[in-house]
């Protein structure tokens, strides 16, 4: 058995061991606002429920390992003492991943991820309309665990109102957990789907993805593409050029002779097929053809 003393390992190595061994972890999709009212949305897997009376959730926006900086979410809860914690199910996991991109301060991750803001009843931060369960919370306390990269900041949240989508409730008002299909985080790029086990999502680009807000309208408002499809498409740094699109469509014509005359609906259906295999670039070339 390999054995280690924590302080003999680099922080990044220890971080990797911890996240791979203590898994899967539930995800807090935390919505906050800054002191000027700008919306922010970011996921955190250092998260769980710790009390029912009072109802307490705790999540931890840790200091970044690479440069010891802190996250916008931490700044916002320090300033406003409010947060909405939205749960993540499989239907929105790619949009959640896109929202984890480190966009500049005051950029609205709801818009980048193609998610809808829903007004809360008690607190000021918005809820994620697509999330099946949303917890409006007051922040009771923030406990800082250290000052170096990797140190956590425990945000102790008291639930003041919770919202559950009726579609996920049984007749006796209990949650249908099989239908809920929650997603949890593991190490590296691995996630765990409650119903089906591990799957992988490539980490968002170190450079910024274009985001759903920069899509052509027919893609942004597609009736065919799912939220997960939009999340995958939004995590590209640039769109293919016209020359790249034309070359791809010419090659594609051998398999799909009518692709140039296809409707948006037909192209979106074909693009969704490519996305099911993780081929985002080809999907974009079809959508832009």
Question: Among residues 85, 99, 95, which one has the least CA distance to residue 26?
Answer: 85
Which 8-state DSSP code applies to residue 209? P
Query: Residue 211 — left, alpha, or beta (φ > 0 → left; ψ -120 to 50 → alpha)?
Result: left
Report whether 183 contacts 227 (CB < 8 A). no
Cβ partners under 8 Å of residue 174, min gap 6: none
The predicted structure's pLDDT at residue 202: 80
Three-state DSSP at 215 gives: coil
Query: Residue 188 — left, alpha, or beta (φ > 0 → left; ψ -120 to 50 → alpha)?
Result: left
C-alpha–C-alpha distance, residues 111 and 116, integer Å: 7
Cis peptide before 54 (omega within 30 of 0): yes
The backbone torsions φ and ψ at residue 272, rounded to the nearest 5 degrees and listed phi first, read -60, -35
Report whether 33 contacts 40 (CB < 8 A). yes
Torsion sign, CA atoms 61, 73, 42, 69: negative
Query: Which CATH number is 6-195's, of 2.30.110.10, 2.30.30.110, 3.50.50.60, 3.20.20.80?
Result: 2.30.110.10
Report whether 262 contacts 214 (CB < 8 A). no
Within 13 Å of residue 47, how many CA atoms lie on the same side as its CB?
22
The predicted structure's pLDDT at residue 183: 95
Kindly report the pTM of this predicted structure: 0.90
Report whether 214 contacts 112 (CB < 8 A). no
C-alpha–C-alpha distance, residues 113 and 91, integer Å: 13
The predicted structure's pLDDT at residue 206: 64
Domain boundaries along the sequence of the chain: 6-195, 212-288
pLDDT tens per residue, the chain (289 residues)? 999 999 999 999 998 999 999 989 999 999 999 999 999 999 999 999 999 999 999 999 999 988 888 899 999 999 999 999 999 999 999 999 999 998 988 899 999 999 999 999 999 999 999 999 999 999 999 999 999 999 999 999 999 999 999 999 999 999 999 999 999 999 988 999 977 888 888 877 666 889 999 999 999 999 999 999 999 999 999 999 999 998 888 888 777 777 878 899 999 999 999 999 999 999 999 999 8
Q: How far apart are the first and last CA of the chain?
A: 55
The predicted structure's pLDDT at residue 167: 96
């Amino acid at each position: 058995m390999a054995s280690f003393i924590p302080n003999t390992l680099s922080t990044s190595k220890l971080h990797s061991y911890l996240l791979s061994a203590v898994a899967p972890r539930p995800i807090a999709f935390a919505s906050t606002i800054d002191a000027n009212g700008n919306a922010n949305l970011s996921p955190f897997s250092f998260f769980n429920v710790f009390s029912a009376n009072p109802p307490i959730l705790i999540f931890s926006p840790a200091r970044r390992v690479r440069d010891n900086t802190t996250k916008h979410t931490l700044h916002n809860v320090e300033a406003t003492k409010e947060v909405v914690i939205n749960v993540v199910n499989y239907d929105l996991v790619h949009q959640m991943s896109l929202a984890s991109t480190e966009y500049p301060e005051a950029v609205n991750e709801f818009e980048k991820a193609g998610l809808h803001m829903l007004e809360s009843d008690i607190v000021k931060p918005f809820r994620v309309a697509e999330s099946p369960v949303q917890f409006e919370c007051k922040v009771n306390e923030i406990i800082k665990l250290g000052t170096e990269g990797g140190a956590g900041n425990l945000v102790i949240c008291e639930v003041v109102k919770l919202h559950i989508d009726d579609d996920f409730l049984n007749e006796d008002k209990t949650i249908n957990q099989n239908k809920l299909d929650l997603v949890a985080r593991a190490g590296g790029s691995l996630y765990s789907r409650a119903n089906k086990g591990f799957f992988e999502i490539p980490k968002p680009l170190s450079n910024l993805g274009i985001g759903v807000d920069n899509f052509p309208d027919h893609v942004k408002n597609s009736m065919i593409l799912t939220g997960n499809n939009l999340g995958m498409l939004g995590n590209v740094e640039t769109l293919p050029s016209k020359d790249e699109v034309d070359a791809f469509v010419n090659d594609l014509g051998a398999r799909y002779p009518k692709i140039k005359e296809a409707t948006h609906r037909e192209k979106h259906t074909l693009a969704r097929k490519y996305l099911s295999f993780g081929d985002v670039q080809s999907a974009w070339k079809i959508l832009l053809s």
